């Protein structure tokens, strides 16, 4: 009997064929803040993670094509209920941004993860970068430590809603609008913009954002450091790009922003292991990410490929440099030395209880190939919503019905399909719309990774090496456990509620201090999508063993 090919295998095969098509078109160091010290304005400590200052700053402020609001608006915008600039560092930090100083890479001193990008038709825009979600920081004994590729603790929804509120206040408050108008026309150096035209533009963007936020409304807030990226990208394509509101589904399964050191060495990425990491998989993944965070794409029935705002060439640079990133080591000089005795005991326990899923990484091997371990979600027992939403979601194909799945080849899209099929189709169309940029990106980022496992259904959660995990709290895919020590407890003994957003490290339990504090978000594990159950591996240890295992995990 012929083996039936599943959707996952078809997607992986199609990506391989697209790689052949695109190729055919062409026939660290020690802890250092030296660069910042020269300016005398930044006391942040940077750990040796394989990047120099130039690489770090370039990646922090490299656009991948996000279009949030016009850039001059952002610079001129005031906070909703006062005259202080919206971009004020205190205001941005209160939403979880890492604020920084102006330099040659970031002339306007934007928070990490925000960038100015030029749109040839509509002028400069404010957008997000990879660093928006994938740069962390911790504080130890009053010292701020940057975690390159770490988990951001930005409250994504709070930032969106605060921006919308500020735009509305600007439109309705005459004094605010007058100041805003003067600042915008001064920055634009033009007399063609009138107050009436600017008000019309403001109103248009407000309506667009309100509609976008309505599509992505959830009953349970994401809070700090989480986003349902799958849900929002599925809505962005299946509902918004195709103008089919009936395809809308609440993105109600938020996950933590994952750490991405070693990610480019894995055979699969995403929490459910659904994205193959063998080329051209990484380029697809990053193009889709760009569309998920305010990238634009124009999907039309009579067009074979699709115009988009994606900075495809930049994606190649970003992926190439992330390949050099390594996990942060426990900062002994700041956090204190580890107990050699406990580490030795903990290693034996790790080998016994953890090694089967979480292998050890050799960061000196620059071409290391890492395998993720996929465990069925019912077996691992953690919150099931991410997986269940992914495998159960069906949408109408609309104007894409009958088109080939990978634009130029593949099965025809049926009337109803998975949102992943539509997203893959649109991403393919966007990449093929800029073939030369796509080829260049593939050559820049190409690395030889292992093939993904054969899957016909993505019903698992991914376990990866946990080196550097000390700097990536809270834990589990949905951020439902605040510390490593708590994760080693039986689920019934883990904290039921806690607060997220305080970057002060708990050096004992290993995680952030999770008591109530200003500018933190409340996490309730009893709410849908927030369960802290499951992953009960090593939870029957004696307490002294548990502490030894924590000590060893610090050393990874």
Task: Summarize pLDDT for 168-220 with one digit per residue, the tens.
Answer: 999 999 999 999 999 999 987 666 899 999 999 999 999 999 999 999 999 99
Residue carrying structure tokens 């495809």: 312
Alpha carbon separation from 177 to 80, 167, 203, 221 (Å, rounded): 12, 9, 12, 31
pLDDT on residue 30: 34
pLDDT surpassing 80 at residue 118 = yes
Q: Which residues contact 344 (CB under 8 A, 6 or more apart)?
A: none
Cβ 251 vs Cβ 237: under 8 Å: no
Q: Is 375 exposed, middle or buried (0-12, 13-18, 19+ CB in 10 A)?
A: buried
Give this prediction's pTM.
0.91
Over pLDDT 70: what percentage of the chain?
92
pLDDT surpassing 80 at residue 537 = yes
- Compute the distance between CA of residue 47 and CA of residue 411 in angstroms, rounded to an integer: 48
- Least confident span in 76-85, 117-126, 396-405: 117-126
Q: What would the two tokens of residue 310 be?
A: 């994606």
Task: Summarize pLDDT for 206-262 with one digit per residue, the tens.
Answer: 999 999 999 999 999 999 999 999 999 999 999 999 999 999 999 999 999 999 999
pLDDT surpassing 50 at residue 19 = no
Task: Summarize pLDDT for 331-368 with one digit per residue, the tens.
Answer: 999 999 999 999 999 999 999 999 999 999 999 999 99
pLDDT on residue 175: 97
- Compute the distance between CA of residue 109 and CA of residue 216 in angstroms, rounded to an integer: 30
SS3 state at 438: helix
pLDDT on residue 191: 67
Cβ 433 vs Cβ 327: under 8 Å: no
pLDDT on residue 41: 61
Cβ 424 vs Cβ 405: under 8 Å: yes
Residue carrying structure tokens 């450091």: 225
pLDDT surpassing 60 at residue 506 = yes
Over pLDDT 90: what percentage of the chain?
88
pLDDT surpassing 60 at residue 456 = yes
- Compute the distance between CA of residue 480 and CA of residue 496 in angstroms, rounded to an integer: 9
pLDDT on residue 21: 43
Q: Is 281 exposed, middle or buried (0-12, 13-18, 19+ CB in 10 A)?
A: buried
pLDDT surpassing 60 at residue 297 = yes
């Amino acid at each position: 009997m012929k083996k039936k090919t599943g959707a996952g295998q078809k997607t992986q095969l199609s990506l391989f064929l697209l790689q052949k098509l695109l190729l055919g078109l062409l026939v660290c160091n020690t802890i250092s803040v030296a660069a910042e010290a020269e300016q005398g304005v930044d006391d942040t400590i940077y750990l040796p993670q394989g990047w120099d200052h130039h690489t770090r700053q370039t990646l922090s402020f490299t656009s991948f094509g996000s279009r949030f609001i016009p850039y001059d608006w952002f610079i001129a915008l005031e906070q909703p209920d006062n005259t202080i600039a919206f971009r004020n560092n205190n205001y941005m930090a209160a939403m979880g941004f890492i604020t920084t100083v102006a330099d040659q890479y970031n002339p306007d001193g934007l928070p990490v993860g925000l960038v100015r990008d030029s749109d040839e038709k509509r002028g400069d825009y404010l957008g997000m970068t990879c660093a928006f979600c994938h740069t962390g920081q911790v504080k130890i004994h009053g010292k701020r430590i940057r975690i390159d590729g770490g988990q951001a603790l930005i409250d994504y929804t709070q930032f969106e809603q605060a921006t919308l509120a500020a735009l509305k206040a600007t439109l309705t408050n005459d004094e605010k609008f007058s100041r805003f108008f003067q600042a915008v026309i001064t920055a634009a150096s033009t007399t063609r913009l009138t107050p009436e035209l600017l008000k019309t533009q403001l109103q248009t963007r407000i309506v667009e954002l309100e509609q976008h936020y309505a599509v992505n409304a959830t009953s349970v807030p994401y809070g700090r450091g989480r986003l349902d990226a799958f849900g929002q990208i599925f809505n962005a394509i299946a509902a918004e790009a195709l103008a089919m509101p009936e395809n809308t589904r609440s993105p109600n399964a938020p996950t933590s922003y994952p750490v991405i050191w070693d990610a480019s060495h894995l055979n699969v990425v995403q929490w459910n292991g659904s994205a193959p990491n063998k080329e051209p998989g990484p380029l697809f993944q990053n193009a889709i990410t760009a569309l998920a965070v305010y990238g634009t794409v124009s999907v039309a029935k009579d067009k074979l490929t699709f115009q988009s705002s994606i900075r495809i060439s930049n994606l190649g640079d970003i992926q190439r440099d992330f390949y050099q990133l390594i996990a942060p080591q426990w900062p002994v000089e700041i956090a204190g030395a580890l107990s050699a005795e406990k580490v030795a005991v903990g290693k034996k326990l790790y080998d016994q209880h953890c090694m089967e899923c979480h292998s050890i990484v050799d960061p000196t091997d620059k071409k290391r190939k890492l395998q993720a371990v996929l465990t069925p979600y019912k077996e691992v027992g953690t919150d099931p919503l991410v997986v269940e939403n992914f495998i159960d979601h069906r949408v109408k194909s609309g104007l894409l019905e009958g088109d080939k799945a990978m634009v130029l080849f593949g099965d025809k899209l049926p009337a109803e399909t998975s949102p992943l099929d539509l997203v893959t189709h649109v991403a393919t169309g966007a990449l093929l719309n800029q073939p030369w940029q796509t080829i260049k990106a593939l050559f820049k980022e190409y690395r030889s990774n292992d093939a993904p496992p054969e899957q016909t259904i993505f019903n698992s959660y991914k376990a990866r090496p946990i080196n550097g995990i000390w700097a990536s709290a809270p834990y589990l895919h949905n951020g439902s456990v605040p510390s490593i020590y708590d994760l080693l407890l039986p689920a019934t003994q883990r904290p039921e509620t806690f607060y997220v957003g305080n970057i002060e490290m708990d050096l004992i339990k290993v995680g952030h201090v999770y008591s109530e504090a200003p500018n933190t978000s409340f996490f309730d594990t009893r709410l849908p999508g927030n369960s802290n159950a499951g992953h009960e591996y090593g939870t029957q240890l004696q307490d002294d063993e548990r502490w030894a295992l924590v000590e060893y995990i610090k050393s990874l």
